[in-house]
Amino acid sequence: MAFYKDERLALFIDGANLYSAARALGLEIDFRKLLKEFQGRGRLLRANYYTALVESDEYSPIRPLVDWLAYNGFSVVKKAAREYTDREGRKRHRGNMDVELAVDMLEAAAHLDHIVLFSGNGDFRRVVEAVKAKGVRVSVVSTNTSSPPQVADDPRREADAFIELEDIADMIARPRRDQSDDLASDEDE
């Protein structure tokens, strides 16, 4: 999909979904590189990152990332994850940011030319359709190459373009550990 330098662009990142897709490919997203990449593709007006946090824990492994994002150009949209007990009696946490992300996309659409949605969640098909009806182009970023695929068929088909996460990995991810090891061994020689 073409990006145009003068188009008003926004990123909507489903944090949990992007993490799962990247992990399935063995990638670690470098959010500084991701932001820079899309700043170079158009007039980036907003980069929203959506996540649910476990507020009751003294330490959350995602807290440092959320703090870094908030200080480095991302608008972090978060809510408390709900605690529940599964069938085996283990405490689990659930947090769904789909409604927040969808509402924000719809509200922002009037001010944008292009939305990039980082999620393979099939629940977003209808909001992608609604945003397109407002004249906004939509690109969906996820992966179809992992096993199992991390993108539902509906948003991929509904979007104007599907961007395979693996195809842009060198632009938005840290080098893979096996690549880092190869680079280090090349430098030793």
Delineate the domains of the chain, giving CATH numbers in brackets.
8-188 (3.40.50.1010)
The separation between the first and the last C-alpha atoms of the chain, rounded to the nearest angstrom, is 41
Categorize the per-residue pLDDT at 187 as very low, low, confident or very high, splitting at 50, 70 and 90.
low
pLDDT (0 to 100) of residue 56: 67
179 has a pLDDT exceeding 60: no
What Å distances lie between residue 144 and 17, 53, 84, CA to CA? Answer: 13, 27, 31
From the CB of residue 82, how many other CB atoms can be counted at a distance below 10 Å?
Answer: 12
pLDDT digits over 106-120, tens only? 999 999 999 999 999
Strand partners for 8: 43
Categorize the per-residue pLDDT at 145 as very low, low, confident or very high, splitting at 50, 70 and 90.
confident
From the CB of residue 7, how many other CB atoms can be counted at a distance below 10 Å?
Answer: 16
From the CB of residue 45, how many other CB atoms can be counted at a distance below 10 Å?
Answer: 13
102 has a pLDDT exceeding 60: yes
Mean pLDDT over the full length of the chain = 88
Supply the pTM of this predicted model.
0.86
pLDDT digits over 117-131, tens only? 999 999 999 999 999
Residues counted in the chain: 189
pLDDT (0 to 100) of residue 143: 87
Contact indicator for 104, 125 with CB cutoff of 8 Å? no
116-147: b (≥16 Cβ within 10 Å) or e: bbbbbbebbbebbeebbeeebbbbbbbbbebe
pLDDT digits over 54-94, tens only? 776 666 778 899 999 999 999 999 988 777 777 888 776 67
